[in-house]
Amino acid sequence: MKPISETFIDVRRLAILREIHERRTVVATAAAVHLTPSAVSQQIAALSRELGVPLLTRRGRGVHLTPQALLLLDHAAVLLRQMERARTELESFNGAEPGPMTIGAFGTAIVNLVAPALMRSKRLPRCVVREVEAPECFGELDTGSLDVVITVDYQEGPCHRNSRYVRRDLLRDPFFAVLPKSHPLAKRRAIPLRKLAEEPWVMGADDGPCGEVAKAACTASGFRPDIQHRVNDYQAAVALVAANAGVSLVPGLALAGSALANVAVRPIAGSAPSRSIYAAVRDGSERSPALAAILDALTAAAMR
């Protein structure tokens, strides 16, 4: 290993190494950081040469970090956090107005959280809003394309204690059973989920938050749902239910903007499933007055 005085570490390469650790493949990392797989490999090879230690080992189609790389990431987390804080403090050093803050959120969060926050708060910085889902939103947050993301907890998402992000919990959004109006159970005040075990279902894809919560709720109720239709848009799910294509579980926020004329919406009896909605920013950037104002406005909108 080179003497530390002779070693220059490019923080961008540390960020790429962190992405590889999260995503396990060079191809997935390349997509997240908007580089080619070859460029990602070259960056990590250069970092390995600079430090004089191996950083990656191949296992099948994926790659794993060496013990030296994991040690490096422990220190990189501190360094990247401090760099983000330095950038934030420099931007506000002269009291200049910050540039536009880019907020990434899924559709129903834009309707029910972002838009009300922008309408009601007069102290927010200039904001640009983009509709984006997990997991793509986290890759864009990491690269700086987004400054704030609003997303949903799900199994493949970052855990609550992930050191890369500072998280602001906004609300728990309960799911409701949505049935055709002519369904025999439509007149009940609340519906035990087990009663829908024999029905055809409308659900989201398995690999995203939309389908994960609903499928897990059915499994916890003792049955495997017969999924006939897969859509990741809740208004589309409600439309299919209205057309007698099946039943569905839809969160309350999504129902607020849906056409409900031909469906029955009923609470789930017992312990109703819900999704946890939160906002996240890069660790270190939360000290930005502009981002703090946005997070406060989103919290106020969620409380309303």
Predicted pLDDT at 285: 85
What's the whole-model pTM score?
Answer: 0.76
Query: pLDDT of 235-275, one tens digit each?
Result: 899 999 999 999 999 999 999 867 788 999 999 998 888 99
Looking at the predicted structure, is the pLDDT value of residue 81 above 80?
Answer: no
CB 284 within 8 A of CB 85: yes
Q: What is the mean pLDDT of the chain?
A: 86
Average pLDDT over residues 197-223: 85
Task: Say yes or no to pLDDT of 50 above 90.
Answer: no
CB 295 within 8 A of CB 303: no
- Are 299 and 97 in contact by the 8 Å Cβ rule? The answer is no
Q: Which domains does the chain have, with CATH numbers?
A: 4-91 (1.10.10.10), 101-171+276-303 (3.40.190.10), 173-273 (3.40.190.10)
The predicted structure's pLDDT at residue 181: 94
- In whole angstroms, what is the distance from residue 220 CA to residue 174 CA? 16
DSSP conformation class of 208:
S
- The span from the CA of 229 to the CA of 244, in Å, is 12
What are the CA-CA distances from residue 213 to residues 137, 229, 241, 264, 284 (Å)?
19, 16, 18, 20, 31
Whether the pLDDT of residue 3 is over 80: the answer is no
Report pLDDT digits (tens) over 165-187. Answer: 999 999 999 999 999 999 999 99
The answer, yes or no, to whether residue 157 has pLDDT greater than 50, is: yes
Among 154-158, 221-225, 286-290, which stretch is predicted with the lowest mean pLDDT? Answer: 154-158
Nearest CA-CA partner of 178 in 242, 99, 128: 242
pLDDT in tens, 55-78: 988 877 778 888 988 888 888 877
Contact 23, 156 (CB under 8 A): no
Statement: residue 89 has pLDDT above 90: no
